[in-house]
Amino acid sequence: MSQFYICSKNHSIVGQMDTYLAFHRDNDTTHYNHRDRDNHRPHHSKTPNAADDRILDEKPFSTTFNPTFPSVQNISEESSRPNYLNTSPTSPYHLGRDVSSDEALNKIKTANSVTISPELFEKIYLNPQKEVKGELRQTFGNPTPLALLGFLLSLSPLSCELMGWRGAGGGGIATVGAYYFIGGFLMSLGGILEFFLGNTFSFVVFCSFGGFWFTLGATLTPAFNAYGAYATEPGNIASGLTSPGFHASFGFFLLFMGLLSLIYLICALRTNLVFVAIFFGLLMTFVVLTASYWHLAAGHLVMAQKLQVVAGAFGFLAVMAGWWIFFAQMLASVDFPYQIPVGDISHLITPLSERVKQKERFSA
């Protein structure tokens, strides 16, 4: 509506508002014209004078409704006044891959329905994006970097020891404490917290590798007598570490850890390239390390040593990818102005739920 006529001075402001609201409730302003103008006037108002007719003839009423109640103002379509009904933000919000984590979590807290891009979600949680009930992800901190740190601070020194850098050796016995209190404890704790957040994949991955580090630490601890049972010299339990029986038996544990890593690798194809690199490195580490132990059991010491170095190199590849995504997560956690990519590949494989929806859409 361009302008509306001014009621008589004897009318109160309340009477003006009632007239205005009754006018818009009882009449369709979209089809207003000069011929039925008199029929649309409020019945209890005074007949407008010639000046009022001139005001009404200047511009037709607009279809845009203004929620305010001004006395006389221009609210036509050509007006620069914003339309408060159409400029409100839409819902649900969509957070793209370049949105910082703090901004994303802030919008999550203030909105009822929010979608996060797969790359941003997997950078934060290392888990394929999946809807879960509750708001625990917005209430508590993200446990993923903590579990990832336990993995990195355990495998990084072990990889260097397997490669024999600076004369290191001993099969990882020097860092057995880290296997308990960093690798096993932090990864298990992070996995349990991922369980409460509804991140199934991260929960299983972190808890299983937490158990691996506890197992490796216990195997290398004399009190558990894991290798003492294979001792070849009476009174010298350390001799069990070089026995063929111990090497052949422990190789089976490493072999099935490689199988587990293969399953994780296939699942990681729904996440990002960094995660794929981590599990590929772990797969090769366990497979090559298994071959090294079995060559030791067969007495092929030279070949076993070479394979151990190769296994350490693949482990080093896995931890370098892990340090990369850990760095990306920490940058996102403090809303750093520069983010590093993790190589989102979730769009390459269509999720099963999406395929079901497409099938239902085509069959309907």
Give how far the C-alpha of residue 162 lies from the chain's centroid of Cα atoms, to the nearest Å. Answer: 34
DSSP 82: -
pLDDT higher than threshold 70 for residue 110: no
25 or 270: which carries more pLDDT confidence?
270
Predicted confidence band of residue 98 (pLDDT cuts 50, 70, 90): low
% of the chain at pLDDT higher than 70: 61
Confidence of residue 248 (pLDDT cuts 50, 70, 90): very high
32 vs 253, more confident: 253
pLDDT of residue 46: 46
The residue among 120, 128, 124 whose CA lies nearest residue 271 is: 128
- How would DSSP label each residue in 168-215? --STTGGGHHHIIIIIIHHHHHHHHHHHHHT-HHHHHHHHHHHHHHHH
pLDDT at residue number 19: 53
List, for residues 43-63, the tens digit of each pLDDT value: 444 444 544 454 444 444 444
Q: How many CB atoms lie within 10 A of CB 356?
A: 10
pLDDT of 126 reads 55
CB 115 within 8 A of CB 129: no
Length of the chain: 364
Quote the DSSP letter at residue 292.
H
- Span of 111-115, 192-196, 270-274 with lowest mean pLDDT: 111-115
Torsion of CA 104, 107, 109, 114, to 10 degrees: -90
pLDDT digits (tens, 9 = 90+) for 303-320: 999 999 999 999 999 999
Q: What is the mean pLDDT of the chain?
A: 75
For the segment 198-206, the average pLDDT, to the nearest whole number, is 91
With contact defined as beta carbons under 8 Å apart, do 270 and 349 qualify?
yes
- Please tell me the distance from the alpha carbon of residue 218 to that of residue 364, in angstroms, as a whole number: 58
Report d(CA 271, CA 126) in Å as an integer. Answer: 7
235 pLDDT above the threshold of 70:
yes
Which pLDDT score, from 0 to 100, does residue 239 have? 84
Task: Express the helix, strand and coil content of the chain in percent, nearest 5 each.
Answer: 65, 5, 35
Percent of the chain's residues with pLDDT above 90: 41
**CA quadruple 261, 264, 268, 270: dihedral sign:** positive
Q: What is the pLDDT of residues 279-302, one digit of tens each?
A: 999 999 999 999 999 999 999 999
